[in-house]
Chain A
Amino acid sequence: QSALTQPASVSGSPGQSITISCTGTSSDVGSYNFVSWYQQRPGKAPRLLIYEVNKRPSGISNRFSGSKSGNTASLTISGLQAEDEADYSCCSYAGVPSHAVFGGGTKLTVL
């Protein structure tokens, strides 16, 4: 069982927007603005999409955005494209003793 809770799957049509939630506790997501999101395509290593809740690394499309409210963080993908089909995982810093915790991952299907 993962420390952060994500929906197992979400889906959307090309051009639509989807949001993936990531629910933690007051010990992790709720306490720190150190939520990050990763995209993972089959057979590949994860790729950083969002860090510190809502910041995008260089080279990441502005179609990806992050937010947080209380113990729940969210990743929104706008203007869905076929290439967005992948697994998405959230991660939060959690202080001592857990340090860092991941969500179980969400499979995005582009219809």
Chain B
Amino acid sequence: QVLLAQSGSEVKKSGASVKVSCKASGYRFNGYGITWVRQAPGQGLEWMGWISGFNGNTKFAQRLQGRLTMTADKSTSTVYMELTSLRSDDTAIYYCARVPVLSLPYYFDYWGQGTLVTVSS
């Protein structure tokens, strides 16, 4: 079955960087994309970005451009999301999710369990 397993919780200081992993299994990695969505405490979902499992192409939310990087390791079917220059409002649960369309982030059919990132000053 399709499974997205994310790395564990992180606590970071303001200004630091965090790198979260998402290991995919149960499907052909290079036939799908992966998107990242975050949810601040008590808030709604926020789309962050997308990476193609086929060629590593990426698309990011405008407000995160310059701070967000996504990479895909096809040999291990793992996607990495790195966010730099962390601020307190980056405190959130970060989810990866599979995108069943190769080209663009249309919708998200399987989700990881979430990774809590806490940013403290």
Residues of chain A at the chain B interface (Cβ within 8 Å)? 2, 34, 36, 38, 40, 45-48, 51-52, 57, 89, 91, 93, 97-105
Contact = CB atoms under 8 A, between A and B. Distances in A.
Contacts of A104: 43-44
B107 A99 contact: no
Contact of B45 (A91, A93, A97, A99): A91
Contacts of B37: 46, 102
Contacts, number: 67
6 contacts: A48-B108, A51-B106, A91-B45, A93-B105, A97-B62, A100-B50
Interface residues of B, number: 26
B45 A102 contact: yes
Which 5 residue pairs across A and B have the least CB separation, nearest first?
A: A36-B107, A45-B111, A51-B107, A104-B44, A100-B47
Contacts of A46: 37, 45, 95, 97, 108, 111
B61 interface: yes
Contacts of B105: 93, 99-100
Given A45-B112, A45-B113, A100-B35, A52 B107 contact: yes
B114 interface: yes
A105 B45 contact: yes
A102 B108 contact: no
A85 to B, nearest CB: 17
Interface string B55-67: 0000111100000
Interface of B: 35, 37, 43-47, 49-50, 59-62, 95, 97, 104-114
Given A45-B112, A89-B44, A104-B44, A98 B107 contact: no
Nearest to B112: A45
A87 to B, nearest CB: 8
A103 B44 contact: yes
A102 B46 contact: yes
A34 B112 contact: no
Given A45-B112, A97-B62, A102 B47 contact: yes
